[in-house]
Structure formats: C-alpha cells, structure tokens
Amino acid sequence: MSADAEFEYDLFVIGAGSGGVRAARMAAAAGARVGIAEDRYLGGTCVNVGCVPKKLYAYASHFHDSFSDAEGFGWQMAGPATFNWATLRDNKTSEIKRLNGIYQRMLEGAGVTLINARATLTGAHTVSLLSSDGKQLQITAKKILLATGGWPWVPDFPGSELAINSNQVFDLQRFPNRFLVLGGGYIAVEFASIFNGLGSETHLIYRGELFLKGFDQEVREFTREEMAKKGVNLHFNTNIERIEPNGTALNVYLTTGEVVEVDAVLAATGRKANTEGLGLEAAGVALDASGKIAVNERYETSVPSVLALGDLTHGPELTPVALAEAMQLVDMHFNEAKPKPLDYATIPTAVFCHPNIGTVGLSEEAAREKYARIRVYRTDFRSMKHTLSGNTERVLMKLIVDDASDIVVGAHMVGEDAGELIQGIAIAVRARLTKHDFDTTVGIHPTGAEEFVTMRTPSRY
C-alpha cells in the first residue's frame, strides 16, 4: 500500500498509549505510511501511571501478609520486616523507563515516524504539532486516529487542591503513614488495599452504599468483608465536605461530622475522556452525552476521516480493549478485512485489591434480568494454604448458568490470583460452554481452581 499523493501520511495517530501504538504498528505493517505524536510519555496511562506501576505496587503490598503466613510453615524472621517506600518508588520508575524505551524501539522498528509534540486537530485531514521548544509543524493525513485515553477527574470542594490524583500517587516523596482514598471504583478499592498492605492506616470514603458498582452484588459484599478484616477503614454513605492543612498533615472533614487526620488524600473519583485541547470543535468531531467521542462500528467519528478508540470512546476502559479495537480498526481501514465485532459482554477484568477479584460475563443481577430462570453455583472457603498460615482470608467462587440452555453466562472469583485464574475461565464463557462441560472437566488437585469444575449442586435459582 502506498501513501496517497495528496497527503503526507496514510494514518497519523495522536497519542502513543496502548491503543495508539498498536494501531500505528499494525497499520505500518500493512504498508501504510504512519506517524504518531506524543507530548508526554510513551505507553500511555497503562505503562506510566496505570496498570503496570499499580500491579508492581500491588505485588509489594502482598509481602506483609506473606511474611506473616510463612511462620505457620516453619519460617522464622530474624526481626520484624520493614518497608522502604523510596526503594519501591525508584525501582518502579526504572522499570517504566525501560518500558518507554521498548515502546520507542517497537515504533522505530515498525517504520512509524514518532514526533514528540502536542498534536491538535485543525481539520478533517490536518494536524498542528507544537514541540516543547516552541517549534510548530503542520501535517496532513488521509486518516487521523485519536487515541489520547482518559485523565483523572477530581471533584470540586473546599481544599480539593490538597488531594492527589491517581497519576500522582505513585511518586509521593514521603510514604503516608495515614492514607485516605475518596471513591468507590476499582482504582479507589485497589489503592486502599495497596496502601493498607504497605502499612498505612487506610480509610476509604464512598458516597454510595457499597463500592464497585456494576460488579456482582455478592462479590461486592464479600470483598467488603475481606477488606475490612484486613484493616481497611470503610466509610460508606459518606463524602468529603472539605480538606484543611494541619501542619504537614491534612484534616479531612466528612459529611457525617467525623474528622480524619491523614498524611495524604487520593481522589480516585473517576476518569474523563482526555479531549481538552485536542481541536475537536475545529474539526467538527461530535461528543456523546457522556462527553466521550461518538464513533460508529468502524471507529469513525462524525468526521469520517477522523477515527477514535479506547478510553476516548464509550466502552470498557481497559488496556486489552484498546489493543483489540486497534487491531480491528487496522483490519477494517488498512487490510480491507471485515472482522467480527468485539464481544464486549464477555471481556474479563480483574480488580487487584486484597483479595483480588476476577470476573467475566454477567453478574447474578444482570442474568436475572436477561434470562427467565438461572442457576447459581457458589462456594466460599478458606484455602488450603491458610490451614497452616493462620490467615483468616476466604475465597469466593461463583458460576451463573442460564437454566434453559445450561450455558455458563458469568463467572466470578474473589481470592488470591483471581485475575490469573479467571483468564482461563473467560475462554470457556466466551465459547458459551455449558455447565455440563465444566462438570465433565477433570480438576487439578489440590488447587483452589478445581472448585470451578466441582460445584455440582445449585446454591439458588
């Protein structure tokens, strides 16, 4: 495929995050002339201030329990374990720099032109580029892909400027011995668990009755109990009224009248599409009611030559979703293929709180709305590991089955390595396997995972 003589690029991508980089590389492999602009860091949210550093911190936060668990297996520590925040933070930074380099080499190896500049749409086929040294450049492209992802949103209340967001939390100069998280989504729940595990006195404030809205209700309730057992102070039906400085600390005034003194406040109250300064109005690109970019099944915006994917558009805000959408987009626009639409209903996800959550398919509540009759299989137990460790953590496993077809339409787990385990189960759910298929699969013994193929008796209908 050769470049259209009318344009400098066949595809120009704004944003070098997971989706943008994948689309750029795949389009270049298809023969397109591709450029990509990024003014912050290669790899986007996931690599720099999202899933990668978060998972590294989640690993770190589990060691506290691991040291304690080891004693029941005969391991003796010479003295109490201590945690050094600076070591974790700086090692994380080194790893991210390594990954940034990998992304740059991948783009260069694919023949993609990387431009370190702020990109702004100026028309259906034109982009203005402003580099950090003030140099400006105009380029033209047959197609332009918007892949700038999301950005943390902090609500406005007195003292809200004293709170940090999820981009900033990884690089705190001092470890907060007292930590407060505002929010009830997966980011809030994960960071409450992480800092609790690292040794902070941790509070989670959420205005609703229970966190993780949209997840299976039993999973939410089970997680609440397990997190509380681990020492996270959960405050529901509560919000922050104001924050005031108190020396080097912060006084957080809650709507219940309570005042909590902490060293840091994380506002994990959601993310919004990162469209500010992107030039959408100048190009005539329309937004939907939620403030995201509206696209059709070909990822085309209201301006057909301008495409968008990932967190900018309506759909699950997950890195693997952006990657899958990028490959679909390239197949449609540069490989002249007609891939099947993505099955958003069976996309698995994990929450790396303590214990982890892994889930795929329908919650029990959603299944009851969709099907005339369902069967619910569930079990909760103390894992074999903790018979010797003395740890009271329990595991929840749950299957949701459409009674008429016997198809497993949902699978959920709360427990150690739930994300790792649910990935395999997700294949079965997406393939529409039946409960009979699960029942006739021989389990691996002794593992917790075998419970998914040994639950024989419905818990409820």
Q: How far apart are CA 220 and CA 94, in angstroms?
A: 35
Phi (first) and psi of residue 212, to 5 degrees: 60, 50
Please give the order of strands across the beta sheet that includes 178-182. 233-235, 201-205, 178-182, 264-267
Q: Which of 64, 203, 412, 445 is catalytic?
A: 445
Report how far residue 259's alpha carbon sits from residue 16's, in angstroms, rounded to the nearest whole number.
Answer: 42
**Sheet holding 374-381: strands in order across?**
349-351, 357-361, 408-414, 395-402, 374-381
Torsion of CA 383, 389, 390, 392, to 10 degrees: -40
- Respond yes or no: is residue 445 known to be catalytic: yes
Question: Are 222 and 402 in contact, with CB atoms under 8 Å apart?
Answer: no
129, 137 contact by CB (below 8 A): yes
Contact 179, 264 (CB under 8 A): yes
C-alpha triplet 16, 20, 24: angle, nearest 5°: 105
Phi, psi for residue 21 in degrees, rounded to 5 = -65, -45
Give 277: exposed, middle or buried? Use CB within 10 Å, 0-12, 13-18, 19+: exposed
Tokens found for residue 189: 């729940």
E strand or H helix that includes residue 23:
helix 18-29
Amino acid at the residue 431: A
Q: How far are the Cα atoms of 135, 145, 182 from residue 302, in angstroms, in the given order?
A: 30, 13, 36
The catalytic residue positions are 445
